[in-house]
Amino acid sequence: MPADTNPNGDIFGGWLMSQMDIAGATVAIRRAAGRVVTVAVEAMTFLKPVHVGDVVSFHATITREGRTSMVVCIVAYARRNRGAEEEKVTEGTFTYVAIDEDRKPRPLPQAVG
């Protein structure tokens, strides 16, 4: 939306980062079988700008797991001018921790398969 842009019409990096966090959390929640919190953003690389009107999609993959935490690599792609081709625009590495109802870290459940 135009309210999420700078004067040049590029989407603010913070808006994109928040959307990436949502995408990564979706994968982390599924793996943790419950609530997670974001504890770190280890890397963010803004490769190309995102413009108003671009369709942005996110692809998230768990790359490493610990006892209570997981690292998720998230890549953002933009489809410009209603075209069919996607262009990689941003990538980041986020760390999530599984938490219990008291907001304390809890072990990840046993991996299936």
In the three-class reduction of DSSP (H, G, I as helix; E, B as strand; rest coil), residue 95 is classed as strand
Q: What pTM does this model have?
A: 0.90
Model confidence at 100, in pLDDT bands (50, 70, 90)?
A: very high
Q: What mean pLDDT, rounded, does the chain reach? A: 93
Q: Give the residue extent of every domain in the chain.
A: 2-98
pLDDT in tens, 54-89: 899 999 999 999 999 999 999 999 998 877 889 999
E strand or H helix at 10, and its extent? none
E strand or H helix at 57, and its extent? strand 55-65
Strands 86-98 and 69-79: antiparallel
Higher-pLDDT residue of 18 and 9 is 18
Please state, as a whole number, how many other Cβ atoms lie within 10 Å of the Cβ of residue 109. Answer: 11
Please state, as a whole number, how many other Cβ atoms lie within 10 Å of the Cβ of residue 82. Answer: 8
pLDDT in tens, 15-63: 999 999 999 999 999 999 999 999 999 999 999 999 888 899 999 999 9
pLDDT at residue 31, as a whole number = 97
2-98 fold: Thiol Ester Dehydrase; Chain A (3.10.129)
* Residue 51 β-bridge partners: 10
